[in-house]
Amino acid sequence: MPSHRLDPIDRKILSELQADGRMTNVELARRVGISAPPCLRRVRTLEEQGFIRGYHAEVDPRELGFEVQVFAMVGLQSQAEADLRAFEDRCRSWPLVRECHMLNGEVDFILKCVAPDLSTFQTFLTGELLTSPNVGSVKTSLVIRGAKDEPGVPFDILEERLTEAG
Amino acid sequence: MPSHRLDPIDRKILSELQADGRMTNVELARRVGISAPPCLRRVRTLEEQGFIRGYHAEVDPRELGFEVQVFAMVGLQSQAEADLRAFEDRCRSWPLVRECHMLNGEVDFILKCVAPDLSTFQTFLTGELLTSPNVGSVKTSLVIRGAKDEPGVPFDILEERLTEAG
DNA sequence: CGCATTATTGAAATAATATTGCGTATGCGC
DNA sequence: GCGCATACGCAATATTATTTCAATAATGCG
């Protein structure tokens, strides 16, 4: 059990599972260069320690009938902590809102939304988001096309930095 | 093999695997109410037909030393198709850039970036992004805190619409 | 250093799961 | 109703996950 600092094998495991989360443990063990039992133990430990939060199938939104993706920049009227929390809670309750991040600068939040079509999004926008208490300004931008959509973090960067540092 | 339209069982499969991509096929079969063999056949078909693009472990960026997340709004000088493509290609080559979406409106692209620390991001920003050909304006916003980060699409919405329609 | 302690490993055995083969049911066009 | 197509589930087999355990490598301490 790596007490808190990960060794190269752990990082390789995370990197491989980020790229293919359904790889068999046998294959994973082969790739990271150890046998299956310790490999599985490492994966379990990484899960327990929170390095791995979960596993997800990546589905194709278009194929499933979600044609529309929108980024919404939201400014609130009050930035008091309680009001921020209230808005975040509301975002969590909206299925169309997949991501909600609090930002610095003029815009308070950025929301990534997914909807079957434009009218569904418009209904949500005018009926829910804009009429929500404390919401000041909302600027929306439709995604014309996606150019890159990589999950998680760049492990290659991590390796670079660690080899430099020793 | 559902020729192209998914039945309720397929949608349930996708929904379950989106929520837990490492569920065993036996458990998945139990949840969707069929036996293991046809369940596995459906999963394979969904993969082949592109409804499932892949599986990924969700890792914790903070725990792995990626403390900084930034959204960058990029405006280009030329929006000619070749220039757009060139910029997208460049984004794909930058590990720090995890997502790149082309938008309508005044901003041409939104980029989601992840970095170990602010200085790493600044180095990327000034040394790569800002000095990139055809890049006009870049406005960056640091993520203060994440409030919601759900993967994929809201299947509950899908079910609602389909039951309404019949 | 050298020994004791602790962690981690891998081979082997077992349990569970994935996968294949096949016979059967169900629906649909004729 | 008949035959084709599709999808199902049972049973058998192959593969994988998981546990057990002895051996090895790392760690700390006298």
Average pLDDT rounded to a whole number, residues A127-148: 98
- Asked if the structure places residue B76 within a domain, the reply is yes
**Confidence category of residue A161, pLDDT binned at 50, 70, 90:** confident
Same domain, A67 and A52: no
CA B39 – C1' C22 distance (Å)? 17
| B91 strand-pairing partners | none
- On whether both A53 and A101 belong to a single domain, the answer is no
Q: Which residues of B touch A158 (CB under 8 A)?
A: 64-65, 116
Residue B3 lies in a domain: no
Q: Is residue A162 part of a domain?
A: no
User: How distant is the Cα of B58 from the closest Cα of chain A, in angstroms?
Assistant: 5
pLDDT per position as a tens digit, A117-137: 999 999 999 999 999 999 999
| Through-space separation of residue B32 CA and nucleotide C18 C1' in angstroms | 17
Q: Which of B114, B59, B43 is nearest to A59 (CA)?
A: B43
Q: What is the pLDDT of residue B2?
A: 40
In contact, B18 and A59? CB cutoff 8 Å? yes
Residue of B nearest to A89 (CA): B147
Query: Is residue A1 domain-resident?
Result: no
Domain shared by B69 and B50, yes or no: no
- Return the number of CB contacts < 8 Å for A and B: 230
Q: Which residues of A touch B98 (CB under 8 A)?
A: 148-154
| Nucleic chain D contacts, protein chain A, residues 37-76, CB cut-off 7 A | 37, 40-41
pTM for the model stands at 0.93
Q: Quick check: is B89 in a domain? A: yes
Q: Domain end: B18, B41, B57, which one?
A: B57
Chain D bases near protein Cβ (<7 Å): 6-11, 15-21
Residue A41 lies in a domain: yes
Within-domain flag for A81: yes
Domain span at A39: 8-57
Reduced to 3 states (helix: H, G, I; strand: E, B; else coil), residue B54 is: strand
Q: Is residue A87 part of a domain?
A: yes
The tally of domains found in chain B comes to: 2
- Cβ neighbours of A19 (radius 10 Å): 16
Check whether residue A22 and residue A91 sit in a common domain: no
Residues B71 and B129 grouped into a single domain: yes
Is A36 in the same domain as A89? no
> Which residue of chain A comes nearest to B67, CA vs CA?
A153
Q: Enumerate the residues of chain B whose CB falls inside 8 A of the CB of residue A115.
A: 157
Burial class (CB in 10 A: 0-12, 13-18, 19+), B126: exposed
What pLDDT does residue A165 have? 58
8 Å CB contact of B98 and A151? yes
- Residue A2 — pLDDT band, cuts 50, 70, 90? very low
Which residue, among B153, B156, B159, B164, would best test binding to A if mutated, counting the most A CBs under 10 Å from its CB? B153
Specify the amino acid at residue A72. A
How many residues does the structure list for chain B?
166
Q: Do B161 and A61 touch (CB under 8 A)?
A: no
Across all strands, nucleotide nearest A1 (CA–C1'): C7
Domain harbouring A30, CATH code: 1.10.10.10
Whether residues B90 and B53 share a domain: the answer is: no
Contacts of A90 (CB under 8 A, 6+ apart): A132
Question: Are residue A42 and residue A110 in the same domain, yes or no?
Answer: no
CB A97 within 8 A of CB B154: no
CATH number at residue B84: 3.30.70.920
Rounded to 5 degrees, φ, ψ at B136 are: -90, -80
Distance CA A112, CA A103 (A): 13
Residues B81 and B108 in one domain: yes
Pair A80, A130 in one domain? yes
What confidence category does residue A4 fall into, taking pLDDT thresholds of 50, 70 and 90?
low
Whether residues B68 and B116 share a domain: the answer is yes
**Do A59 and B65 lie within an 8 Å CB cutoff?**
no
| Whole-number Å distance between alpha carbons of A47 and A41 | 10
Q: Exposed (0-12), middle (13-18) or buried (19+): which is B20, by Cβ within 10 Å? A: middle
Question: If chain B, 166 residues long, is cut into consecutive pieces of 10 residues, what is the mean pLDDT of each piece?
Answer: 74 98 98 98 97 98 96 98 98 98 96 98 98 97 98 91 65
pLDDT at A166 over 60: no
CA distances from residue A37 to A43, A48, A95, B155 in whole angstroms, order as listed: 10, 17, 39, 36
In this predicted structure, what is the pLDDT of residue B165? 59
Do A68 and A116 touch, CB atoms closer than 8 A? yes
